[in-house]
Structure 1
Amino acid sequence: MITHKNISLFFIFLLLLIFLLNLYTAINLWFFFAIIFIWIGINAFGSARISSNYHVKAFCNNPLETEKKIALTFDDGPSIYTLEVLELLKKYNAKASFFCIGKNIETHPEILQKVISEGHLVGNHSYSHSKFFDFYNEDKITEELRKTDELLEKFTSKKINFFRPPYGVTTPSIRRALKVTGHQVIGWNIRSLDGGTKNQELILNRMIKHISPGGIVLLHDTGTHSVLVLEQFLQFLQQNNYQVVSIEELLNLKAYAN
């Protein structure tokens, strides 16, 4: 398995071997730089791709699911748009999971309460969702996760098990923090890209193209365009006999612990 630990050991061994060989025969310095560059590239790719399990184990879909079941997840709320998302989910009898940002919970506690009261799951998406989150050390990440858990647990009355890292990026510091907090990482295998574009046709076509049994869809409850695409997507699922189920049912995992 390609993991951060295995890759690091391999490249350290490789560099030591080249260093020893260099004692007996001259090796071009650029060869060292090339090895290090490849090492950095693999680390960057593994960190940015949550499904790679490079730093931590992430549950991104259920490959064993044969029935037309998928899970919907929403990042970055709660926000005023979450209310519109909830109305659509109710209309199409669908359950979803909301990965919430701590500071947004403080701004919209009543919306989070509505999410939970309507039977949807909630998970931790950090407190700040800072663009520098990937560079935080273990203690800072642990602090953010615990702070957000405390906010969520005021409404769930149960310990939060699910965490989704901001931007889907994982690092050694996040891995170490998760050993402390005990969260399970929930990823996705159907990325709508609604966080980067407002082109509804592009977003919808991308989701439809990648839909398959056992899939986990990533959307955001933070914009009108996402709400409009959601209704179109729910219509498509209904027409094609797909059932939207919770993450718990799809992955056979528990969102909360007593």
Structure 2
Amino acid sequence: MITHKKVTIFFISLLLFLFLLKADKGINELWFLVVALPFLAITIYGTARISSNYIVKAFCNNPLEKEKKIALTFDDGPSVYTLEVLELLKKYNAKATFFCIGKNIETHPEILQKVIDEGHLVGNHSYSHSKFFDFYTEPTIRKELQKTDKLLEKFTSKKINFFRPPYGVTTPSIGRALKITGHKTIGWNIRSLDGGTTNVELILNRIKKRVSPGGIVLLHDTGSHSVLVLEQFLQFLQQNNYEVISIEELLNLKAYAD
């Protein structure tokens, strides 16, 4: 497996070798650029793609699942639209995992309580979900995770195990923070992109064609268009004999620790 640590060691070794050659034979400095550019490209790809496991191990699906079972996850709530999502999940007897933003928990504690009361799971999605989260230092990231954990644990009474990084981006600082907090990173393999477009037909077609046993779907509970997508998607799953199960059951991982 290609990881950030292995790649960094490899390219540092190459750079050291070039320095030795330069000192001995005076090679062209462009060779340093030739080495640096692939390192930069690999790192950008690895940090931006959560399923690459480049920085941290992320659980994005269960490739061993052969039965028609799938998990639903919702990011960025709680919000007023979470209530509509909950009604649909109840209607179709489906359980989901909600990755919550700390500041939104403070705004809608009663909605988060309803999520818990109706038997759904919750996970950590940072406190601020800042656009600059990926550039935060390890101590700042750790504080965000711990602050959100405390908010969630008021409702679960148990330690939060699941974390989903904002935008699905992982960095060395995030990796170092997770080693301290002990969270398991939960990704996805079916991304709706409903956070970037409100075109219901486009979103629905995108996720329907990606459905397969053991998949994890990423949706948002923060917009009316996502609610419309969810109802039609749940109908599609029902018509195709798919069972919506929890992340815990799909991945055989515990969402909470005592």
Bin the TM-score by the shorter chain.
over 0.9
Paired-residue identity, %: 79
Residues 73-88 of structure 1 correspond to what in structure 2 (within 5 A)?
73-88=73-88
The count of corresponding residues between Structure 1 and Structure 2 is 258
Task: Tell me the equivalent position of 1:239.
Answer: 239
Task: Tell me the equivalent position of 1:159.
Answer: 159
What is the rounded CA distance, in whole Å, between the counterparts of 2:136 and 2:126 in structure 1? 12
Task: Tell me the equivalent position of 1:40.
Answer: 40
What is the rounded CA distance, in whole Å, between the counterparts of 1:72 and 1:207 in structure 2? 11
Secondary structure in structure 1 of the residue aligned to 2:185: strand
Task: Tell me the equivalent position of 1:28.
Answer: 28
What is the rounded CA distance, in whole Å, between the counterparts of 1:144 and 1:127 in structure 2? 5
Secondary structure in structure 2 of the residue aligned to 1:103: helix
Give the gaps of 5 or more residues in structure 2.
none
Deviation at 1:34, TM superposition (A): 2.3
Q: Which aligned runs of 4 or more in structure 1 are off by greater than 4 angstroms?
A: none
Task: Tell me the equivalent position of 1:227.
Answer: 227
Secondary structure in structure 2 of the residue aligned to 1:73: strand
What is the rounded CA distance, in whole Å, between the counterparts of 1:151 and 1:130 in structure 2? 18
Instruction: Read off the aligned partner of 1:185 and give its amino acid letter.
Output: T
Task: Tell me the equivalent position of 1:137.
Answer: 137
Instruction: Read off the aligned partner of 2:148 and give its amino acid letter.
Output: T
Instruction: Read off the aligned partner of 1:131 and give its amino acid letter.
Output: K
Q: After superposition, give the CA deviation of every residue in 1:165-224 in whole Å (9 maximum; x if it has no partner).
A: 000011111111111111000000000000111111111111011110000000000001
Secondary structure in structure 2 of the residue aligned to 1:47: helix
Q: After superposition, give the CA deviation of every residue in 1:119-148 in whole Å (9 maximum; x if it has no partner).
A: 000000000000111111111111100100
Q: After superposition, give the CA deviation of every residue in 1:43-96 in whole Å (9 maximum; x if it has no partner).
A: 111001000111110000000000000000000000000000000000100000
Instruction: Read off the aligned partner of 1:66 and give its amino acid letter.
Output: K
Secondary structure in structure 1 of the residue aligned to 2:25: coil
What is the rounded CA distance, in whole Å, between the counterparts of 2:29 and 2:127 in structure 1? 44
Q: Does 1:186 align with 2:153?
A: no
Secondary structure in structure 2 of the residue aligned to 1:253: coil
What is the rounded CA distance, in whole Å, between the counterparts of 1:204 and 1:110 in structure 2? 30
Give the gaps of 5 or more residues in structure 1.
none
Mean alpha-carbon deviation: is it higher for 27-36 or for 241-250? 27-36
Deviation at 1:33, TM superposition (A): 1.1
Deviation at 1:31, TM superposition (A): 2.2
Deviation at 1:27, TM superposition (A): 2.7
Instruction: Read off the aligned partner of 1:174 and give its amino acid letter.
Output: I
Secondary structure in structure 2 of the residue aligned to 1:70: strand
Mean alpha-carbon deviation: is it higher for 210-219 or for 25-34? 25-34
Residues 199-238 of structure 1 correspond to what in structure 2 (within 5 A)?
199-238=199-238
Secondary structure in structure 1 of the residue aligned to 2:15: helix
Deviation at 1:38, TM superposition (A): 1.4
Q: After superposition, give the CA deviation of every residue in 1:3-26 in whole Å (9 maximum; x if it has no partner).
A: 000000000111111222223434
Task: Tell me the equivalent position of 1:12.
Answer: 12
Task: Tell me the equivalent position of 1:124.
Answer: 124
Task: Tell me the equivalent position of 2:147.
Answer: 147
Task: Tell me the equivalent position of 1:196.
Answer: 196
Aligned alpha-carbon RMSD (Å): 0.8
What is the rounded CA distance, in whole Å, between the counterparts of 1:90 and 1:190 in structure 2? 22
